[in-house]
Amino acid sequence: MPSHVHHRACNLCEAICGLRITVEDGEIVDIRGDEKDPLSRGHICPKAVALQDIYHDPDRLRRPLRREGSEWREVSWDEALGETAERLAAIRADHGADAIAAYAGNPNVHNSGSLLFGPAFLRALGTRRRFSATSVDQLPHHVAARWMFGHMLLLPVPDLDRTSFLLVLGANPLASNGSLMTAPDVRKRLKDILDRGGQVVVIDPRRTETARLAGRHHFIRPGTDALLLASLLATLFEEDLADPGRLAGFTDGLKVLANRVAPFPPERIAEATGVPAAEIRQLARELAAAESAAVYGRVGVSVQEFGTLCQILINALNVVTGNLDRPGGAMFATPAVDAVARFGAGKSGRWKSRVRGLPEFAGELPVATLAEEILTEGSGRVRALVTAAGNPVLSTPNGRQLDRALERLEFMVSLDFYLNETTRHAHLVLPPTSPLEHDHYDLVFHLLAVRNTARYSPPLFDPPPDSLHDWQIFAELERRLGRGTVKARLGRWVRRWLGPRGLLDLGLRTGPYGAGFRPWGNGLTLRKLEGEAHGVDLGPLEPRLPGLLRTKDRRIPLVPEALPGELRRLEKKLGRWQKQKDAGAPMLLIGRRQVRSNNSWMHNYSRLMKGEDRCTLLMHPEDAARLGLGAGATDHGGDDRGDNGGDNGRGAHRVTVTSRVGQVEVPVEISDEVMPGVVSLPHGWGHDRPGVRLRVASESPGVSLNDLTDDRAIDPASGVAALTGLPVRVERMG
């Protein structure tokens, strides 16, 4: 029986685990972690086997589909691409390029072909109405990096393997497997910190899996993290603990920062945040005293009204304690393909959205404004939409409004291999090959990794004849829609001739470990990487500053221009928070992630869907009692343990949850792991809409968190949607 072992990186999440896949007679018989992978060291999570399920899924589209009335008809690639180009070109000719919007979803970042060819397609389209999942995710990180380090991709990564103190805000890496921190086997990495005598402290309105492991956790009232961060800084300055060390030589604004954060001493903000003042002072002292420390904040402190301020203050804390760019602190990776050199620094403010006047950043507008750009009449209205690898109906605020808006489009085309809640509205669906059918290299995640490594994944299966990869679809649409100038044609020709492999080889050769173009020498080339099935180890993170800074003067401004105004806005808000403590205050809704989910698209595989309904509203026993819902606080124990049946209150009661924009009905799970006054619903559910072709997912559809979130709530500094801490009314049903 012909059997072979294939090595590749899992591309489902940011942990990029190395896999060892055994194939017999063309069938996968085993998927496990690759022990020899220098980064993931054998780790995988339950989702890894889903790669095989995606490949076999009968619901996965293999041929382009054209909507005819309420039916879908398979059409040839030539017909599908031809019609797409024709319809888009006609709308562009009649109404201008800005009448076409484009939305890029998260999996684009996990697909090197899309990363290398998507941007050129967007340029050919010519629209300034570009949107992506960035503005419901990490946009504030980019904005803060641009302002303080001069480039949107200069994102500091906590040096997990060497740190002795980790402060985590608004991240749950035990469920998410890490984000803007590629750290496979994060459980072991965090345990190792504790084992070597270090500390991990988690700040989260929910006592998460990560908080349990850390052993030190403080509840925080959702949305108030900027107060806590400012007050940590204020304490450092007040108690004379600020010491940037060597960073002082290229940092500006220490004194000004001290003045600006002075109005936020712990005693003043403790009540609004829910974190006791003494604990805040203690934390600041520990941060200052630790041999090395890293402050790390993710989705929970990014998608909030003060998301950008939070990320600025986190960077500032790492600088002021001397921990930026030092081993065990928050460091910059040195990836084999130098993304910082190859991608734009992040221009901004060149144009605004039409309806709400929201600012552009790095060529994109906040997705919270997409629906109104379609629905609001007037010249420049969005009439057509291209989506690629995304599901904004489930992933962006006020999803129901977007759902309705998509109905109004004159033309919509989606690059996706599923008919999901979004793509069901398309006129044409263009399904690319699935992950195991193409090669891959992590252009983004090596940049965010806790260790420098490089690994190339060849395709495992040959794609079926007459199928196209994402990059080929992009390249073909670019050819049909792009400009006819000699320069544009030459560029297209060169890119297509090189293909993703040639472009990758170029990136590796010209990167920091590259061979250049000499035929001899030891540097990296694609060929060399192909000979290393487990990838290559390029060593621990190394100090890179000030050389890596891209600010004009190669210095770090601790007080970027927007900071004073943002702190004033925070102080005003503090006043409102302090007034809002009465019992009649609304409950605050937060989201959560689950190991066996991946945003909106891992719910169609039976293996991952086993067990009880996971789309439940977590509520504290005191709140449940107030609403007259059963008794019994329970130890919820994590969404994926699957051992919490019995009388834990799971599903025993249903409630309605109502926000300004919508209402959902959902089973309640009573647990003291959420802060009193806070309720938590996982995101990415809500698969019961007509026209969705996800048979397994539709059986346990759940409800969409983003049917409640508010498109008007944004962080004005970046335009990121303020998804967390949403005021809602919860009522018992029946």
Instruction: Return d(Cα 217, Cα 706) in angstroms, integer.
Output: 27
Structure tokens at 329: 């602190």
User: How would you classify residue 70: left for phi > 0, otherwise alpha for psi between -120 and 50, otherwise beta?
Assistant: alpha
Residue 438 is classified by DSSP as: S
Closest CB 252 distance from ligand MGD, rounded Å: 29
Give yes or no for residue 14 binding Mo ion (CB under 5 A): no
Give yes or no for residue 12 binding ligand SF4 (CB under 6 A): yes
Q: What are phi and psi of 218, to 5 degrees?
A: -125, 130
Closest CB 302 distance from ligand MGD, rounded Å: 8
Closest CB 366 distance from ligand MGD, rounded Å: 13
Closest CB 178 distance from ligand SF4, rounded Å: 8
Strands 451-454 and 536-540: antiparallel
Q: What's 411-423 look like in SS3?
A: EEEEECCCCCCCH
- Contact predicate 512/429, CB 8 Å: no
Q: How many residues bind ligand SF4 (CB under 6 A)?
A: 12
Of these partners, Mo ion, ligand SF4, ligand MGD, none, which one is at the site of residue 500 (CB under 5 to 8 Å by kind)? none
For Mo ion, give the closer residue by CB, 434 or 598.
Answer: 598
Residues 36-65 within binding reach of ligand SF4 (CB under 6 A)? 44-45, 47-48
Give yes or no for residue 229 binding ligand SF4 (CB under 6 A): no
Of these partners, ligand MGD, ligand SF4, Mo ion, none, which one is at the site of residue 176 (CB under 5 to 8 Å by kind)? ligand MGD
User: For the chain, how big is the Rg over CA atoms in Å?
Assistant: 25
Instruction: Return d(Cα 722, Cα 554) in angstroms, integer.
Output: 32
Closest CB 28 distance from ligand SF4, rounded Å: 14
Give yes or no for residue 172 binding ligand SF4 (CB under 6 A): no
Q: What are phi and psi of 61, to 5 degrees?
A: -75, 140
Closest CB 314 distance from ligand SF4, rounded Å: 24
Alpha-helical regions (H) of 182-306: 186-195, 209-214, 225-238, 254-261, 266-273, 277-289, 299-302
- Contact predicate 11/40, CB 8 Å: no
Give yes or no for residue 681 binding ligand SF4 (CB under 6 A): no
Give yes or no for residue 413 binding ligand SF4 (CB under 6 A): no
* DSSP secondary structure letters along 360-398: EETTB--GGGHHHHHHS-STT---EEEEES--HHHHSSS
Among 37, 57, 98, 137, interactor with Mo ion by CB under 5 A? 137
Chain positions contacting ligand MGD, by CB under 6 A:
13-14, 105-107, 111, 133, 136-137, 169-173, 175-177, 179, 203-206, 208, 220, 222-223, 225, 298-301, 304, 388-392, 395, 415-418, 420, 432, 470, 590-595, 597-601, 683-684, 705-706, 709, 723-725
Window contacting Mo ion (CB under 5 A); options: 22-30, 131-139, 502-510, 612-620? 131-139
For Mo ion, give the closer residue by CB, 204 or 476.
Answer: 204
Structure tokens at 235: 């304490």
Among 8, 15, 373, 717, interactor with ligand SF4 by CB under 6 A? 15
Instruction: Return d(Cα 317, Cα 236) in angstroms, integer.
Output: 9
For Mo ion, give the closer residue by CB, 137 or 707.
Answer: 137
Closest CB 8 distance from ligand SF4, rounded Å: 11
Where b means 16+ CB within 10 Å and e means fewer, 311-348 reads bbbbbbbbbbbbbbbbbbbbbbbbbbbbbbeebebbeb
Closest CB 232 distance from ligand SF4, rounded Å: 31
Chain Cα centroid distance, residue 548: 24
Give yes or no for residue 16 binding ligand SF4 (CB under 6 A): yes
Among 7, 8, 17, 318, interactor with ligand SF4 by CB under 6 A? 17
Of these partners, ligand MGD, Mo ion, ligand SF4, none, which one is at the site of residue 184 (CB under 5 to 8 Å by kind)? ligand SF4
Give yes or no for residue 535 binding ligand SF4 (CB under 6 A): no
Instruction: Return d(Cα 175, Cα 592) in angstroms, integer.
Output: 9
Closest CB 306 distance from ligand MGD, rounded Å: 9
Q: Is the peptide bond before 546 cis (omega within 30 degrees of 0)?
A: yes
**Contact string (CB under 6 A) for ligand SF4, positions 181-210, x = contact:** ---x--------------------------
Closest CB 188 distance from Mo ion, rounded Å: 23
Of these partners, Mo ion, ligand MGD, ligand SF4, none, which one is at the site of residue 48 (CB under 5 to 8 Å by kind)? ligand SF4
Residue nearest to Mo ion (CB): 137
Of these partners, ligand SF4, ligand MGD, Mo ion, none, which one is at the site of residue 17 (CB under 5 to 8 Å by kind)? ligand SF4
Closest CB 43 distance from ligand SF4, rounded Å: 7
Q: What are phi and psi of 265, to 5 degrees?
A: -65, 155
For ligand SF4, give the closer residue by CB, 295 or 299.
Answer: 299
For Mo ion, give the closer residue by CB, 137 or 305.
Answer: 137
Q: What's 448-478 look like in SS3?
A: HECEEEECEECCCCCCCCCCCCHHHHHHHHH
Structure tokens at 427: 């006129």
Q: What are phi and psi of 400, to 5 degrees?
A: -65, -35
Of these partners, ligand MGD, ligand SF4, Mo ion, none, which one is at the site of residue 399 (CB under 5 to 8 Å by kind)? none
Closest CB 505 distance from ligand SF4, rounded Å: 24
Among 108, 134, 135, 177, interactor with ligand SF4 by CB under 6 A? 177
Q: How many residues bind Mo ion (CB under 5 A)?
A: 1
Instruction: Return d(Cα 540, Cα 548) in angstroms, integer.
Output: 17
Closest CB 247 distance from ligand MGD, rounded Å: 26
Of these partners, ligand MGD, Mo ion, ligand SF4, none, which one is at the site of residue 592 (CB under 5 to 8 Å by kind)? ligand MGD
Q: Which residue type is seen at 563?
A: L
Instruction: Return d(Cα 45, Cα 177) in angstroms, integer.
Output: 9
Instruction: Return d(Cα 503, Cα 510) in angstroms, integer.
Output: 11
Where b means 16+ CB within 10 Å and e means fewer, 536-562 reads bebeebeeebbebbbbeeebbbbbbeb
Q: Of 74, 192, 212, give the one whose Cα is nearest residue 636.
A: 212
For ligand MGD, give the closer residue by CB, 340 or 468.
Answer: 468
Closest CB 317 distance from Mo ion, rounded Å: 23
Residues 458-497 within binding reach of Mo ion (CB under 5 A)? none
Give yes or no for residue 460 binding ligand SF4 (CB under 6 A): no
Interface positions with ligand SF4 (CB under 6 A): 10, 12-13, 15-17, 44-45, 47-48, 177, 184
Chain positions contacting Mo ion, by CB under 5 A: 137
